Amino acid sequence: DPNFNIYWSSDQMETYSRSLAQRFPNRVQFEVIGRSAQNRILYALKISNGGFGNKPLIFIEGGCHAREWVSQATVMYLIHRLVEDPVASNELLENADWIITPNLNPDGYEFSRTNNRLWRQNRRQVNPNCVGVDLNRNFAFSWRTATVACGSQTFSGPSPFSEPESHAINDLMSRYRQNIKIYLTVHSFGDMVLFPWGFQGSPGLIGNHEYHHQVGLLWRNAIQAQTGKVYAVGNVAQLLGNAFGASDDHMAGNQNVNLVYTLELSRGGLTGFDFPESQIGNLVRETFHGYRAIGLHIGRNY
């Protein structure tokens, strides 16, 4: 089995992803969706029990923010279970297909691993003086010209989708949006299940707020039943605050995905982002129960 007691490099994630596609050709397709600013491969895994594309589709994105390493860890573990665990694949692929980008910002992640643990953005050289755009401020719906300078952690970029990573995931969404029932973007930290709107002042509630809340509770309850950890579930603006150009609002507002969530996983270590390796195994197993509850709901209800 792959080792979930350490943080993997971008290369390890890509190698494992490719190997799944080779070993389980009927279940996994590895699809290149673009190239990062530093020319790393951006990819998605399309996971099904055969005949991808005929069932309701679940879209999961990990690794948007460079320093939020538990994001990729929990998403890679989900992929492992969906593909390699017969029980999980039976119940979770029977009535739904999955499309997963486990490591959306490989350049930023590698920079966080090797140079600056708290790096957040991508690593594109925006101009001669500065590097890095916050991908979660670079989506078109509600995008705003930067109120903070390039070089700041939340720089929104010169224009919507100026960044290859946000551009690639939006293109992928455009191709599959008819079948997509839910989009999850996985971040840390805060133990929160957040949903739109998160760009206009509180309350700024989305039309199907109540349904978002109900499905969010499925995540919360599944995890609480396993470990007692309690996630907060609610509107972004109320629980966390506003941000312009984030992927959640874009996927709901421009791509018309019916259910859209930002998950904020657990904190760890001194900064909150450096969740200790010794506990990743427990965290990814705990988190799997949340993904599973969402997957079962989509499978049963669409």
Which residue's beta carbon is nearest to the bound Zn ion?
187
* Residue 203 DSSP symbol: S
Q: Using CB distances below 5 to 8 A depending on partner kind, what does residue 249 bind out of Zn ion, ligand 0X9, none? A: ligand 0X9
| Three-class SS state of 139 | coil
Task: Give the C-alpha distances (Å, rounded to integers) separating 171 from 135, 203, 220, 256.
Answer: 15, 30, 30, 14
* Token pair for 233: 């579930």
Q: Using CB distances below 5 to 8 A depending on partner kind, what does residue 173 bind out of ligand 0X9, Zn ion, none? A: none
Q: Using CB distances below 5 to 8 A depending on partner kind, what does residue 243 bind out of ligand 0X9, Zn ion, none? A: ligand 0X9
Cα dihedral 186/212/172/246 (nearest 10): -60
264 catalytic? Reply is yes
Q: In 30-45, which positions are buried (b, 16+ CB within 10 angstroms) versus exposed (e)?
A: beebbebbeebbbbbb
**Judged by CB, which is closer to ligand 0X9: 68, or 97?**
68
Q: Using CB distances below 5 to 8 A depending on partner kind, what does residue 262 bind out of Zn ion, ligand 0X9, none? A: ligand 0X9
Alpha carbon distance 130, 124 (integer Å) = 9
What is the smallest separation between the CB atom of 95 and ligand 0X9, expressed in angstroms?
A: 29
Contact residue for Zn ion among 55, 137, 181, 187 (CB under 5 A): 187
- Helix (H) / strand (E) element for 185: namely strand 180-188
Q: Determine contact, residues 53/179, Cβ cutoff 8 Å.
A: yes
Q: Packing angle between helix 69-84 and helix 280-301, nearest 10 degrees?
A: 60
Stretch that binds Zn ion, among 42-50, 53-61, 78-86, 185-193 (CB under 5 A): 185-193
What is the smallest separation between the CB atom of 22 and Zn ion, expressed in angstroms?
A: 31
**Judged by CB, which is closer to ligand 0X9: 122, or 179?**
122
Residue 65 in the binding site for Zn ion (CB under 5 A): yes
Chain centre to alpha carbon of residue 57: 15
Q: Determine contact, residues 29/46, Cβ cutoff 8 Å.
A: yes
Stretch that binds Zn ion, among 42-50, 144-152, 183-191, 271-279 (CB under 5 A): 183-191
Chain centre to alpha carbon of residue 190: 15
Which residues here bind ligand 0X9, judged by CB under 6 A? 65, 68, 136, 187, 194, 198-199, 236, 240, 242-243, 246, 248-249, 262, 264
| Residue matched to tokens 């003086």 | 129
Q: Using CB distances below 5 to 8 A depending on partner kind, what does residue 74 bind out of ligand 0X9, Zn ion, none? A: none
Stretch that binds Zn ion, among 36-44, 68-76, 92-100, 228-236 (CB under 5 A): 68-76
Which positions from 21 through 60 interact with Zn ion, judged by CB under 5 A?
none
Write out the residues near Zn ion by the rule CB under 5 A: 65, 68, 187
- The residues annotated with a catalytic role in the active site are 264
